[in-house]
């Protein structure tokens, strides 16, 4: 089946550091990828839609300058958390779909801990 | 505004019995529905989906039922196994949403021996 790889799986860093998370579709091309954030014991919150070759679309309340998204190829999207602070600590997950009316497949997530 | 609702935060079921998870939605434009299973600190795993032109889809132990008039879908797992213990999310998308999914809050399923 379709596989989405996310890297790294866990990051611990100091406040003020910028952190880049990669999301790759391994066996299909994805013009659109999605980035989610999950708080403890809550559902997945969509942060932004990553569009290959164009700007990402951010959900209301998500700071585009804080969460930079780049979708440079049909198999790779990156999320950069800029100047991360402890409140940015969370579980970030990406997803991609081979096409419309096909299921989104999720990466294994990245646990980000900012000290 | 929560467009997809899972009103049962938890469900306990005995091994071998049927698990029934429910999901309601408010947006009549939704035409594609999915169920995902999630373990802690992992991404969701796709289980089964259904499009609005059907009312039932079956895959092994998993069956999804869709009642469009009631804006309700359910996931049946039979027989339930201990490895099914996880959080289950219902999700839906609309035709004009670029594949964007709306998720329910999830239901924690615990399968007891």
What is the tens place of the pLDDT at every residue in B18-47? 999 999 999 999 999 999 999 988 899 999
Nearest-CA neighbor of A4 among A79, A111, A107, A97?
A: A107
Average pLDDT, chain A: 92
**Nearest-CA distance A64 → chain B (Å):** 18
Comparing alpha-carbon positions, the chain B residue that sits nearest to A107 is B43
Which element (helix H / strand E) includes A13?
strand A10-13
Q: Which residues contact A99 (CB under 8 A, 6 or more apart)?
A: none
Residue A101 has pLDDT above 90, yes or no: no
pLDDT at residue A99 in the model = 81
Do residues B53 and B68 touch, judged by C-beta distance below 8 A?
no
Q: Left if phi > 0, otherwise alpha if psi is -120 to 50, otherwise beta: which for A15?
A: beta
Residue A61, Cα to own-chain centre: how many angstroms?
A: 16
Do residues B59 and B46 touch, judged by C-beta distance below 8 A?
no
Q: Work out the pLDDT band at A1, boundaries 50, 70, 90.
A: low
Residues of A in contact with B42 (CB under 8 A): 108-109
pLDDT at residue B97 in the model = 80
**Nearest-CA distance B23 → chain A (Å):** 14
> By three-state DSSP, how is residue B68 classified?
coil
User: Do A6 and B43 count as a contact with CB atoms less than 8 A apart?
Assistant: yes
- More confident site: A69 or B41: A69
Nearest-CA neighbor of B80 among B63, B95, B92?
A: B63
pLDDT at residue A97 in the model = 87
Identify the residue among B9, B44, B89 best suited for mutation to test binding to A, counting A beta carbons within 10 A and taking the highest.
B44
Could you say which residues of chain B have pLDDT below 70?
Answer: none
Residues of A in contact with B49 (CB under 8 A): 103
Residue A51 has pLDDT above 90, yes or no: no
Alpha-carbon separation of residue B43 from A19, A36, A72, B87, B104 (angstroms): 19, 10, 23, 11, 15
């Amino acid at each position: 089946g379709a596989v989405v790889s996310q890297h790294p799986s866990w990051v611990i860093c100091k406040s003020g550091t910028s952190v880049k998370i990669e999301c790759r579709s391994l066996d299909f091309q994805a013009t659109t990828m999605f980035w989610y954030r999950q708080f403890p014991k809550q559902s997945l919150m969509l942060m932004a839609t990553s569009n290959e070759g164009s700007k990402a679309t951010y959900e209301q309340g998500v700071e585009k300058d804080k969460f930079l998204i780049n979708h440079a190829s049909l198999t790779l999207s990156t999320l950069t958390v800029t100047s991360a602070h402890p409140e940015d600590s969370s579980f970030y997950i990406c997803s991609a779909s081979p096409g419309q009316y096909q299921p989104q497949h999720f990466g294994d997530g990245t646990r980000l801990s900012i000290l | 505004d929560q467009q997809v609702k899972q009103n049962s935060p938890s469900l306990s079921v005995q091994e071998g019995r049927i698990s029934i998870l429910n999901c309601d939605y408010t947006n009549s434009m939704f035409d594609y529905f999915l169920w995902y299973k999630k373990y802690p600190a992992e991404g969701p795993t796709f289980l089964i989906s259904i499009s609005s032109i059907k009312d039932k889809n079956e895959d092994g132990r998993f069956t999804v039922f869709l009642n469009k008039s009631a804006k309700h879908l359910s996931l049946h797992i039979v027989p339930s196994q201990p490895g099914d213990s996880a959080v289950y999310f219902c999700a839906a998308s609309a035709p004009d949403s670029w594949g964007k999914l709306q998720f329910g809050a999830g239901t924690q399923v615990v399968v007891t021996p």
